[in-house]
Structure 1
Amino acid sequence: MRQNPRFKWAVAPVSAALLLALAGCTNQQLNGFMPGDPNNGGPGVTNHSDTIATFWTNSWIVLMGIGFLVWVLILWASIAYRRRRGEKGLPHQLRYHMPIEILFTVIPVILVGGFFAFTAREQAKVEHNFAQDEVDVHIEVYGKQWAWDFNYLPVEGSEYDGGVYYEGVQAVPAADATKGEIDTDKLPKLYLPVGANAQIDLKSRDVAHSFWVVDFLYKEDTIPGKTNTMSIVAEREGVYMGKCAELCGEYHSMMLFEVHVVSQEEYNAYIQSLRDAGQEGAHGDEYNRNTHLEGTDVPSFGPEEQH
C-alpha cells in the first residue's frame, strides 16, 4: 500500500510537539494540579494520596481524549455535510441507525462503570480498617456546630500515648483582621504521628458534617448516629488545613481545623500536655446535642397503656 508523504510530514511535527509537551510537564502538572505540594518530589501526604492523584489525572486524560474526539467529529460533520451552493431543501435524513445508537449507549455506560469501579476501589482503601493489632493511633473525631472535638483513645500495646481529649472552638477573627483573616492559634488542632497506622472514627454531635483535610485528597461525612472510619498513614510532617465540606448551618464556613503531622516524640509530648491540663478520658456520645432533645428516646409503655 502506497503511503501518503504529506501524512508523514504532518505526523512528525505533531508527535514532536506532543513529546516535548509531556517532557516539559512539572510534578504539579503530572499530579493534576492537586494539593499536597507534589513539587518536593517526595511521597504524598498520606499513603493514599499518590494513587488518588493518579486516578484523578488519568480520569482527566480519558475525558479530554473523549472531548477532543467529539470536537473533531462536530467539525468534520459541520464541514462535510454543510449546505453547498445551489442546494435547496433538507438533506437526506438518517434514522434508526442501530450501530451508532448502540455505540452512543455502550461507551457512556462503560465510562461511568469504569469511573465508579476505580472510585469505589480508592474509597475502599481509605475506609478499610487496620487489623486490631496493627493500629498505632485510634482517634475519635466529633463534628459539631461549628467546631471539632478529638478523643485520643488508648491502644493496647502501642508505643503512642493516648487516653486524653481535646475540645475545639469555632474559628474566630484575628485581632488585626482586615481581609477576613482568622486567628489560627485558636483553631482546633488534630495531631497525628508521622508513619503511624491511624484509625480515625468520624461521628457527629448534632447534624451532618464532613471531615475534609485538603492535602489528604479525601473527605468523609460525619452522620448523626453513625460512625464512619478512615484508616491512613501520614507520611509527611507538616501542618495541613482542614474544614467542614457539608453545609451545616450559619457558621459552616468557620468550621475549620488544622492537622499537625509530627514526630512520635512531639506527638507523645502533646498528649502529655493535654493530660497535664486535666483533659484525661474521653468526651463521647453522652455529649451529643441530639441526646438532650425531646422525642429522641424510645417510648416506654406501662401495663395500663399497652391495651
Structure 2
Amino acid sequence: MVARGSEVRPSVVRQGSPRDARRRGGRPSVGRLAGLGVGGAALLALLSGCNVGQTFDGFGWPQGGISPESHRMYDLWIASTIAALAVGVFVWGLIFWCVIRYRKRGETLPVQTRFNIPMEFLYTIAPILVVAVLFYYTAIVQTGVNKVSEDPDVTVEVVAFKWNWQFNYRSAPNGQPGAETVASTLGTTEVIPILVLPTGRSVLFEETSRDVIHSFWVPELLFKRDVFPGNVRNVFQVSSLHTEGAYVGRCAELCGTYHSMMNFELRVVSPEEYDRFIAAKQAGQSTQDALVSIGESPLAQTTKPFDTRRDVNNFGNASAGS
C-alpha cells in the first residue's frame, strides 16, 4: 500500500496539480477570471439594455398590472427568477467543469483530500446570503402590499354569495364613526355587476361572504384575496389604479355549481367620472343609467351572464305539478 501510494502522487502532480499551476505563473487562473469578467459584463449589458420580464414573457408571471402593488410583486418575481437562474447556471457550470476536468484518464488513483476549508465555507455561507437577501426583499414587498391606511380615499365593501357579487360604496371603513353605505350595485343572473373605481385614489376593499368561501380576483391586480363568511372581514388596499379601462373579475375559490361563471367587471374611470357616477347612484339611478350618464357602456364588456339552465327537468321533479 505504501509503494502504491508513492507511485500515485508523482503521476497526479505531473498531470496538472495546483503546484504545477503555480510554477507556470498561474496563467490558467488569470484566463478563467478574465473569461468570467467578460461574461459578467456581457450579462450586465444584456440585462440593462432590455426589459428582461417583457423579453421572456414575465417568466410565467402575468404582465400588465394596473396598481403600484402589482408592479412591486412583478419586479420581485423577475428579480428572484434572475437570481435563481444565475445560481443555477453557476452550479451547472461547476458540475460540467468537474465532469470534464476530473474525468477518468487511466487507472491511476487521483489524490484524495479530506476537506477544503474555503470551499466548505463558500457552500455554507453563500446559500445563507442568497436566502437572506430574498427574504429581506420579500418582506419589504409583502409589507408594502399589505399596508392599509386608516383614511383611504374610497372604501368598497365586497359581498360575495352563490353565485354573484354585491358592491357597497361606503363613506368610511367599517367600524369608524359615520360609516355607512352611500351606493350599492347588486349582480343578478341577467346583469353582470360592475365595480366602478377611480384612478389616482387609494381604494380599501372590505370583503365578506353570505354563505361559503369565495375569492375576489382581478387578474390585472396580480393577486387575489379570499372572501370568508361570518364575522371575518378580509381587508386589503391598493394605493392607486393608474390605467382606465374594463377588467374582468372572477371568483377564484371553488364555491359550488356555478363557480366558474361567478364573474364581475372592474371599470376604472377618471376621478371626475367616478364622482359623477356616485352622485347619480345617490340620486336613485341604476348602475346602468349611472354608467351611461358618465359616457360608459352600461353593460359588462369583458364577460357576459351565464345560462343557469334551471328548469323543471334538471332542478325539480317534472311530474310534481301534474
- Please report the TM-score for the alignment, with normalisation by the length of structure 1: 0.65
Counterpart for residue 277 of structure 2: 270
Q: Is 1:145 equivalent to 2:162 in the alignment?
A: yes
Shift of 1:118: 3.0
What secondary structure sits across from 2:158 in the alignment?
Answer: strand
Counterpart for residue 124 of structure 1: 143
Deviations 1:233-292 (A, max 9, x none): 11222222322233333333222222111112321333344442478xxxxxxxxxxxxx
What secondary structure sits across from 1:48 in the alignment?
Answer: helix
Counterpart for residue 25 of structure 1: 50
Deviations 1:53-92 (A, max 9, x none): 221111111111111122112212333344444479xx99
The residue type paired with residue 250 of structure 1 is T
Deviations 1:152-201 (A, max 9, x none): 01249xxxx9601111246x8xxxxxxxxxxxxx4332111111121111
* Native 8 Å contact 1:204 1:224 kept in 2: yes
Q: Is 1:241 equivalent to 2:248 in the alignment?
A: yes
The residue type paired with residue 231 of structure 1 is Q
Structure 2: stretches of 5+ with no match in the other structure: 1-24, 174-179, 288-322
Shift of 1:130: 1.4
Q: Which of 43, 65, 81 is equivalent to 2:86?
A: 65
Structure 1: stretches of 5+ with no match in the other structure: 38-43, 173-185, 280-307
Which has the larger Rg? 2
Deviations 1:97-147 (A, max 9, x none): 898778666655554554444333323223322133xx2211111222332
Distance 1:20 1:213, change over 3 A: same
Counterpart for residue 298 of structure 2: none
* Native 8 Å contact 2:168 2:184 kept in 1: yes
What secondary structure sits across from 2:253 in the alignment?
Answer: coil
User: Aligned-residue CA RMSD in angstroms?
Assistant: 3.9
The residue type paired with residue 260 of structure 2 is S
Matches of 1:252 and 1:92 in 2, distance apart? 66
Q: Which of 189, 202, 209 is equivalent to 1:204?
A: 209
What secondary structure sits across from 1:163 in the alignment?
Answer: strand
* Native 8 Å contact 2:195 2:267 kept in 1: yes
Matches of 2:52 and 2:106 in 1, distance apart? 52
* Native 8 Å contact 1:210 1:220 kept in 2: yes
* Native 8 Å contact 2:251 2:262 kept in 1: yes
Counterpart for residue 227 of structure 1: 233
**Number of equivalent positions:** 251
What secondary structure sits across from 1:139 in the alignment?
Answer: strand
- Please report the TM-score for the alignment, with normalisation by the length of structure 2: 0.63
Counterpart for residue 154 of structure 1: 171
Greater relative CO (CA pairs within 8 A, separation 6+)? 1
